[in-house]
């Protein structure tokens, strides 16, 4: 049977390349890997014609020659990072390689005869699908490899990363033991990622510290304590991924998708005397700025039903800010968050405790679905959030997520903006509420 061409996509460090290696081991076939990052010459794939000096076959044929078999498991790493050069388009050259209907007679310019690639099992890896040519994406079966929960990271560290680092440093379990609570502390305080790459670096630091003490014949704790972690790795660097209080009007927790997984972001808004101007800051892209404008216009047109005095819009300026201005933020995830922030500000009502939300809005008052739900939910769990507001159309995304991931979370599904406000805002006013 012709094997389907798989494309594993997901954030960095989740083990996509390792998965390709494991497929080769499981099938008992040779493993070949070619990194396509930055490749911009078509002849790297198709080979050079023999008329050129220094002509040689393309990477595909070279790798098969090196593997000495016609049916290896072939990992095409970083297929999303192919670039376009003056010497042709390598991603178009890959179309023939990755098409099960065509690759039984792949033409390499150097060989000058058709070569049968149909026995090869191709596994491509990518961090994002947006930069892959649509025709190329169409030929592959897309498998999403998502990030890990804290519990999964601790298990990966315990079963794989720690033994691997001990072996590489010439130590064994008699020289160093890191218990689960300490591994959890390393995960939560020193890494902020979907994968486990920086987690491995932090564990390597702990192992190196033990190896140094053994070499210098100095005393150290074989069983690592919390104090040892702070001594070796420094004080915890990443405590900002935590939910903040709801004592201030206009501060709402949103959920965002980033290249390295999910994240929570705070949207703040404030009023000042003025002529009704709207200012938006926080390094936001076009889509997020549009979301803020839509939210503002919706509130103005529905001021009576929301219990807001229309004169407020003419006498006060509104400023919306999304902290961490150095980080570029864009996407359709913050519409309902901005709306809730503004209504909370105008009515001076408190936002419900431990609540986060994600969804896009329309001028008619509808809530639209968004993507990256699993990553966002992992971010909410990391931040100890209890309730999540989502669009009704995202219900099917939740059904696909493992129960362990959604344990302890309550989901509210909404269709209209009025439902969002009913669920998100309490009747209670904030302390020292402004009189508008």
- Which of 291, 333, 341, 344 is catalytic? The answer is 333
Burial of 273 (0-12, 13-18, 19+ CB in 10 A): exposed
Contact, 119 vs 1, CB < 8 A? no
- Which of 16, 329, 376, 381 is catalytic? The answer is 376
| Active-site residue, 333 included | yes
Calculate helix-pair angle for 335-347, 417-424, nearest 10 degrees.
Answer: 60
Contacts of 66 (CB under 8 A, 6+ apart): 32
Q: In terms of Cα–Cα distance, which of 378, 360, 380 is closest to 370?
A: 360
| Active-site residue, 272 included | no
Rounded CA separation 66/62 (Å): 6
Bridge partners, residue 34, by sequence: 76
Rounded CA separation 306/313 (Å): 14
Rounded CA separation 415/435 (Å): 32
The set of catalytic residues is 333, 376
């Amino acid at each position: 049977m012709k094997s389907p061409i798989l494309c594993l996509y997901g954030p960095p460090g989740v083990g996509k390349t390792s998965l390709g290696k494991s497929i080769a081991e499981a099938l008992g076939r040779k493993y070949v890997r070619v990194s396509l990052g930055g490749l911009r010459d078509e002849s790297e794939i198709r080979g050079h014609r023999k008329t050129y000096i220094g002509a040689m076959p393309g990477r595909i044929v070279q790798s098969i020659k090196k593997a000495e078999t016609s049916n290896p498991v072939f990992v095409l790493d970083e297929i999303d990072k192919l670039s376009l050069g003056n010497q042709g388009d390598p991603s178009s050259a890959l179309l023939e390689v990755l098409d099960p209907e065509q690759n039984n007679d792949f033409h390499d310019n150097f060989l000058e005869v058709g070569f049968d690639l149909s026995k090869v099992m191709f596994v491509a890896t990518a961090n994002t699908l947006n930069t892959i040519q649509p025709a190329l994406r169409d030929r592959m079966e897309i498998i999403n490899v998502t990030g890990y929960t804290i519990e999964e990271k601790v298990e990966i560290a315990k079963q794989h990363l720690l033994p691997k680092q001990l072996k590489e440093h010439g130590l064994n379990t008699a020289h160093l033991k890191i218990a689960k609570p300490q591994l959890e502390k390393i995960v939560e305080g020193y890494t902020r990622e979907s994968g486990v790459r920086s987690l491995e670096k932090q564990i390597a630091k702990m192992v190196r510290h033990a190896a140094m003490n053994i070499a210098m014949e100095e005393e150290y704790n074989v069983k690592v304590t919390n104090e040892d972690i702070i001594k070796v790795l420094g004080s915890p660097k990443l405590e900002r991924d935590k939910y903040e209080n709801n004592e201030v009007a206009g501060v709402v927790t949103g959920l965002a998708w980033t290249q390295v997984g999910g994240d929570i972001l705070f949207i703040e808004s404030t009023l000042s005397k003025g002529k009704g101007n709207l200012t938006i800051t926080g390094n936001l892209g076009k889509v997020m700025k549009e979301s803020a404008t839509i939210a503002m216009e919706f509130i103005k047109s529905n001021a009576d039903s929301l219990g807001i005095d229309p004169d407020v819009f003419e006498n006060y300026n509104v400023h919306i800010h999304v902290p961490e201005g150095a980080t570029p933020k864009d996407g359709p995830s913050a519409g309902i968050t901005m709306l809730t922030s503004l209504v909370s500000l105008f009515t001076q009502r408190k936002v419900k405790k431990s609540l986060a939300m994600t969804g896009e809005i329309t001028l008619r008052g509808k809530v639209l679905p968004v993507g990256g739900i699993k990553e966002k939910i992992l971010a909410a769990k990391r931040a100890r959030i209890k309730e999540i507001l989502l669009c009704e159309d995202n219900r099917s995304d939740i059904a696909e997520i493992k129960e362990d991931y959604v344990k302890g979370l309550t989901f509210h599904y909404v269709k209209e903006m009025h439902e969002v406000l009913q669920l998100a805002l309490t009747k209670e006013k904030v302390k020292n509420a402004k009189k508008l």
